[in-house]
Amino acid sequence: MSLFLKFLVAAVAAGTPLLFGTVGEILNEKVGHLNLGVEGMMALGACAGFMTAYLTDSLALALLASFAAGVLASLIYAVLTVTFLANQNVAGLTLTIFGTGLSNFIGVYMISRSAEGTLKLPAKVTAALAAVHIPGLSDAPVVGELLFSYNVFVYLGVAVALAAGWYLYGTKTGLNVQAIGENPGAADAASIPVNKFKYINLLLGGGICGIGGAYCSMIINGGVWLSDSVGGLGWIAVALVIFAAWKPQLAILGSFVFGGLRVLKYYVPTGAVPIAFFDMLPFLMTALVLIVTSMRGSKGSHIPASLGVNYFREDR
Amino acid sequence: MNQNKTTSREPLFHVVKRPERSGRQMLLFRLGAVALSILAGGLFILAIGYNPIEIYGTILNGAFRSKIAVQSTIKITIPLCISALGATLAFKMKFWNIGGEGQIIMGGVFATYFALFHDDWPHLPLMIVCFLAGLIGGGLWGLIPALFKVKWNTNETLLTLMLNYIALYIISWLQNGPWRDPTANGFPKIAAFAKNAVLGKVLGVQAGWIVMLVLTVLVWVYLKFTKQGYEVAVVGESQDTARYAGIHVKKVILRTMFLSGAIGGVCGMLQACGTDATLSTGIAGGVGFTAIIVAWLCQLNPGMILVVSFLFGVLEKGSGVVQSSYGLSTDCAAVLQGIILFFILASEFFVRYAFAGRSSAKGGKKA
């Protein structure tokens, strides 16, 4: 039982960066933009967050910086695809290559300037990133460990996901936003400011991805800067959007399940199934989800109808 | 368009389509975009405290300073160019095959089987078999998303993406399990190929460069002069038109994706048997993604792809030299590639569209 509990806790921790990426990408896709730049936005967020924490000793500033980096990165994407009507796949991929490249580049540059030859987070930040301890609750058996033993990112992630879910599915604005993703022409005719909401959603989503990146650089490697800390998680996030059926609330469950798949290999008897199979599982699962939803046709799919297609008013 | 009378919130400018620019104007636009991106890259280099002219000079010099440098620049060009040619076929059909990585990997895996376990065969037949195996491996991997696309209209962008990772972990399984080199203690890896199973060199570079040149011509001829190539273009423009013209759309999609994947597979074979002389998880190493950028940058023109791949090769090889002489990371190349493409993507807008001010909007004239 305690091993299973440990597995669940590890799954939540491994799933948290995915949660940020997924929620960010859902906001993007809901306005019809399949942003393949998640990996790049997360990488830039990872770099900005880590370096800010390294230089300023402040976790709050680091979170802010990673959010800002994500916003700036997605601003490039938004200008190119919304205003300049560039191909979304190509713009997104370029953002990924640019983002991971720049992030690693700055990392190497900072290492070359540091006295020790490595970059390590200051003790104050590491302390702030330790598991939040709520007196009473955290000490409770099972429940305490399962619900109240995480670092601040985990709670922030769940809060962001719930807020995004409320925004998209619980407000009138969210309804308008969804209309843009389904049929921008009709939304425009209904005097919904299409491009304005596209920008808002893209930038907001980018910022959220950026915070997810900060998790990768600050937590996964134990507070030491390593190149490629995001390491493909952004792509899993793109996949998770399908798994979560474009619902941020479901993304919470989905990312913890995928987090579980990622750590599963440490909790099963070795030898029975090759390790590589466990690493493959998240992608295999997503491919299956993708295929099964497409088999069910438009009825079962929640994919925004205009996903991947830019909106040009005169083409209406 | 008179509904604006009640709302006075007409934007300052709006976007209109403009007549097609001449080929020369378009070329000027692209060159201008490249110049701007070099400028922007220079500002970035300046911002981190280096002299941009010096760094750019080092990149150029680094790629051409010696015969060996030129050879290794070409070695970088080969997979990029071939993989971009593969992507071109699919993109011409507006099939978003971003599974180049996976197709390279599967080509490599299929070819490696023969290179590892049949290295006692005579060299030339073995190489031909490896080549065909790579071609089929990549082709089949490209066929999977196409099958689901024609049967259930499954989103190919996301499915090809997932297949990249599935392929990657197939290698990781092979090198940890069935194909693990028993003589390498500790670190799991696949054994280096016997000399007989390694592709020979021509003029100091692995023979793949000949394949690259041949493929460039073949893809150009295929798209421009054959019936099948024409069908690809029509399906890409409009599936309804294609169907109306009696083109078997599903067949075209399946055939083209097999070919697109097969070219990627050939790239994988050349990497495994030519450059690496083994199979590792780094066989594709992002080439499949960069290739998409190259293909798009060149507007799916095979000749241009050859040129731009070489330029990207220069950028990458030169960045390696920048790393060794200035201690800057090779990621410099990725940053510059990204900047160039951002500018090109933005410039394409001005080729096809224009901003119109408020006054010209009143007339509602069509450009």
A291 inside 8 A of chain B by CB: yes
Q: How confident is the model at residue B364 (pLDDT cuts 50, 70, 90)?
A: very low
Q: Which residues 60-119 in chain A show a CB within 8 A of chain B?
A: 76, 79-80, 83-87, 89-91, 93-102, 104-105, 107-109, 112
Phi and psi dihedrals of A264, rounded to 5?
Answer: -55, -35
**Residue for token digits 């933009």?**
A33
pLDDT band at A298 (very low <50, low <70, confident <90, very high): low
Chain A residues with CB under 8 Å of B10 CB are none
The predicted structure's pLDDT at residue B340 = 85
Which tens digit of pLDDT belongs to each residue from A181-236?
Answer: 999 989 988 888 999 999 999 999 999 999 999 999 998 888 889 988 888 889 88
Rounded-to-integer distance, Cα B142 and Cα B151, Å: 15
Q: Which residues 18-37 on chain A approach chain B with CB closer than 8 angstroms?
A: 34, 36
Task: Reduce the DSSP state of residue A247 to 3 states and report it.
Answer: coil
| Residues in a beta bridge with B355 | B15
Nearest-CA residue of chain A relative to B171?
Answer: A276
pLDDT at B10: 63
Give the strand pairing for B201-202 and B205-206: antiparallel
Angle between helices B208-225 and B67-92 (to 10 degrees): 30
Question: What percent of chain A is modeled with pLDDT above 90?
Answer: 46
Residue A311 placed within a domain: no
On whether residue A315 sits in a domain, the answer given is no
Short-list B129, B160, B155, CA closest to B143: B160
pLDDT band with cut points at 50, 70 and 90 for residue A9: confident
Is there a domain that residue A314 lies in?
no
CB contact under 8 A, B162 and A294: no
Nearest CA-CA distance, residue B334 and chain A, Å? 5
* Separation of alpha carbons A33 and A309, rounded Å: 7
What pLDDT shows up at residue B329? 79
Indicate if the pLDDT at residue B29 is higher than 90.
Answer: no
Residue A235 at interface with chain B, using a CB cutoff of 8 Å: yes
Q: What does the pLDDT look like over A80-91, one tens digit per residue? A: 999 888 889 889
For the residues of B89-108, what is the DSSP string, one character each? HHHHTT-----HHHHHHHHH
Query: Any idea how long chain B is?
Result: 367
pLDDT of residue A300: 54
Task: Examine residue A190 and state whether it is found in any structural domain, yes or no.
Answer: yes
* DSSP output for A10-73: HHHHHHHHHHHHHHHHHHHHHTT---TTHHHHHHHHHHHHHHHHHHH--HHHHHHHHHHHHHHH
**Token pair listed for B246:** 């009696």
Contacts of B327 in chain A (CB under 8 A): 108, 112
Chain A residue numbers touching B152 (CB-CB < 8 A): 291, 294-295, 297
DSSP per-residue string spanning B280-316: -TTSSTTHHHHHHHHHHHTTT-HHHHHHHHHHHHHHH
Assess B150–A contact: CB distance below 8 Å, yes or no: no
Residue A305 lies in a domain: no
pLDDT reading at B33 higher than 50: yes
Contacts of B163 in chain A (CB under 8 A): 287
**What pLDDT score was predicted for residue B293?**
85
Is the predicted pLDDT of residue B1 greater than 70, yes or no? no
User: Which of A112-116, A207-211, B320-324, B354-358 tops mean pLDDT?
Assistant: A207-211
Q: Does position B139 have pLDDT exceeding 70, yes or no?
A: yes
Full domain range(s) for residue A34: 2-300
Interface of B with A in 2-21 (CB under 8 A): 7, 14-17
Examine residue A312 and state whether it is found in any structural domain, yes or no: no
Quick check: B332 and A94 CB within 8 A?
no
pLDDT of residue B299: 85
CA atoms within 13 A on the CB side of B195: 0
User: B159 touching A, CB under 8 A?
Assistant: yes
When pLDDT is cut at 50, 70 and 90, the band that residue A129 belongs to is confident
| B284 Cβ contact list (under 8 Å, min separation 6) | B79, B100, B101, B102, B104, B105, B108, B168, B268, B271
Does pLDDT of B361 surpass 60? no
Identify all chain B residues contacting A239, using CB atoms and an 8 Å cutoff: 158, 161-162
Structural domain contains residue A71? yes
CA dihedral sign of residues A182, A188, A190, A196? positive
The answer to whether the beta carbons of residues A72 and A65 sit under 8 Å apart is no
- Residue A306 included in any domain: no
pTM score above 0.90: no
* B325/A contact by beta carbon, under 8 A: no
Q: Any idea what the CATH number is for the domain that residue A267 is in?
A: 1.10.3470
Region A64-90: mean pLDDT is 93
Chain A residues touching B332 at Cβ < 8 A: 101, 105
Mean pLDDT of A293-301: 70
Average pLDDT, chain B: 85
Cα of B204 to nearest chain A Cα, Å: 31
Pure H helices in chain B: 23-47, 52-64, 67-92, 100-117, 123-152, 156-176, 208-225, 227-237, 239-244, 249-270, 287-297, 302-326, 332-352, 358-362
List the structure tokens of A234. 């952004």
Distance spanning both ends of chain A, measured CA to CA: 59
Q: Is A189 on the interface with B (CB under 8 A)?
A: no
- Confidence check: pLDDT of B5 > 60: no
How far apart, in Å, are the Cα atoms of B221 and each of A97, A216, B301?
31, 47, 11
* pLDDT for the residue numbered B82: 95
Phi (first) and psi of residue B96, to 5 degrees: -80, 75
Any chain A CB within 8 A of the CB of B50? no
Tokens of A6: 């440990």
Residue A305's pLDDT band (cuts 50, 70, 90): confident
Q: Return d(Cα A140, Cα B344) in angstroms, integer.
A: 58
CB-based contact (8 Å) between A305 and chain B? no
Q: Which of A201-205, B182-186, B252-256, B347-351 has the lowest mean pLDDT?
A: B182-186
pLDDT at B362 over 70: no
> pLDDT value at position B284?
84
Alpha helix (H) residue ranges in chain A = 2-30, 38-56, 59-78, 88-113, 123-128, 143-147, 152-170, 172-182, 184-189, 194-215, 233-243, 248-263, 275-295, 297-300
In a mutational test of the A interface, the residue from B3, B329, B360 whose CB has the highest number of chain A CBs within 10 Å is B329
What pLDDT does B366 receive?
A: 43
- pLDDT of A138 over the 70 cut: no
Give chain A's domain count. Answer: 1
Model confidence at A264: pLDDT above 90: no
